[in-house]
Structure 1
Amino acid sequence: MKGSLIIVGFFTIGVLAGLFHLCPIDITQSDISFYALCALMFSVGLSVGNNPQTLNNFRSLNPRLAFLPIMTILGTLAASALTSLILPERSAADCMAIGSGFGYYSLSSIFITEYKGPELGTVALLSNIMREMITLLCAPLLVRWFGNLAPISAGGATTMDTTLPIITRSAGQEFVVVSIFHGFLVDFSVPFLVTFFCSF
């Protein structure tokens, strides 16, 4: 929760700095976002490769639960496409590109800003931050109303890092491996799906 509030705080500071022209350079006319994206991709690869225990955890997973990340991806994309029906100024591809962030706000918003511009990138940032914060705040309620897998699916790509503690506390220790596996696969899909939908 604290981490999400810090991110929102930095986003607010960035908006204010842009509004009042406090930034000495115009980053929309530079390659800074591209280099930031490269650094983020390197960090993702480093964090996955640096934890050999992750692969061992995957081997002990119930094969039926391997479908959970697939259903999370399909459900999110279906809901995103339906959202375009009530937002006529946005295409289904735009909405699905935003949904394809799966809570991974830093990576997806930079991709979308690169391909579609800062307006849609900002919407993607806010949408994905909200997904993470809803999971952090509502995980106990999601478990009570929809079962132990609900907060894992709601957390999207964040279930192997920021939302893992609250999911473990709400759903139980036996869902740690499921949560890490789910987060890993959904996280891995983000750059491919976001760039795919941004290409339309």
Structure 2
Amino acid sequence: MKGSLIIVSFFLLGTLCGLYDLLPPGFTTDNMSYYALCALMFSVGISIGNDPNTLKSFRSLNPRLVLLPVMTILGTLSGCAVVSLFLGHRSAADCMAVGSGFGYYSLSSIFITEYKGAELGTIALLSNIMREIIALLCAPLLVKYFGRLAPISVGGATTMDTTLPIITRCSGQKFVIVSIFHGFIVDFSVPFLVTLFCSI
């Protein structure tokens, strides 16, 4: 929760700096978001390759649980497609691009801003932050009413880091590997799916 509030605070600070022209001249160039995206992708690569033990532990997973990230992706995209029917000013591809962030607000919002503009990028940022906050705050209720896999699916790409502690506490220790695997696969899909829907 604290991490989400820090991200929102930086977002608001950046908005104020842009609104009141508080940044030095030349700082807000068109290439700035591209350089930030490159740095972010480099960091993602380091975080995935940094822990070989995580990759080895995936072998102990129940084969049926391998389908969980696939169902999370399909369920999220289906929900976004349905929501687009009620939003006349947004196409299904736009809504699915926002949903393809799966809670990974930093990466997806930069991609969407690059392809579709700041308005949709801001919507993606807020949408993905809300997904993480819902997973953090509602995990006990999700387990109670929908089962132990529900908070993992709701957490999306965040289940291998920020929402892992609350998932472990609510779903149980035996779901740690499932949660990490789920987060890893969903996390890996974000740049491909966001780019795909943004280019449609």
User: Under TM normalisation by the shorter chain, which class is it?
Assistant: over 0.9
Alignment of 1:38-77 (within 5 A): 38-77=38-77
- Residue 42 (structure 1) shift: 0.8
Unaligned runs of 5+ in 2: none
- Residue 191 (structure 1) shift: 0.2
Q: For residue 126 of structure 1, what is the aligned residue in structure 2?
A: 126
Whichever residue aligns with residue 169 of structure 1, its letter is R
**TM-score normalised by the chain length of structure 2:** 0.97
- Residue 32 (structure 1) shift: 1.1
- Residue 28 (structure 1) shift: 5.6
Distance 2:82 2:2 in 1: 32
- Residue 15 (structure 1) shift: 1.3
Distance 2:190 2:101 in 1: 6
Whichever residue aligns with residue 159 of structure 1, its letter is T
The change in CA–CA distance for 1:66 and 1:25 in structure 2 (over 3 A counts) is farther
Unaligned runs of 5+ in 1: none
Alignment of 1:18-33 (within 5 A): 18-25=18-25, 29-33=29-33
Distance 1:178 1:85 in 2: 33
Alignment of 1:135-174 (within 5 A): 135-174=135-174
Whichever residue aligns with residue 161 of structure 1, its letter is D
Alignment of 1:53-132 (within 5 A): 53-132=53-132
Q: For residue 5 of structure 2, what is the aligned residue in structure 1?
A: 5
Q: Equivalent residue of 1:86, what SS?
A: coil
The change in CA–CA distance for 1:172 and 1:121 in structure 2 (over 3 A counts) is same
* CA displacement, residues 96-143 of structure 1 (integer Å, 9 cap, x when unaligned): 000000000000000000000111000000000000011011111100
- What is the number of equivalent residue pairs in this alignment? 200
Distance 1:26 1:169 in 2: 47
Cα RMSD, aligned residues only:
1.0
- Residue 56 (structure 1) shift: 1.4
8 A Cα contact 1:148 1:171, kept in partner:
yes
**TM-score normalised by the chain length of structure 1:** 0.97
* CA displacement, residues 21-52 of structure 1 (integer Å, 9 cap, x when unaligned): 11224666421111111111111111111101
Give yes or no for the alignment of 1:185 onto 2:185. yes
Q: Equivalent residue of 2:85, what SS?
A: helix
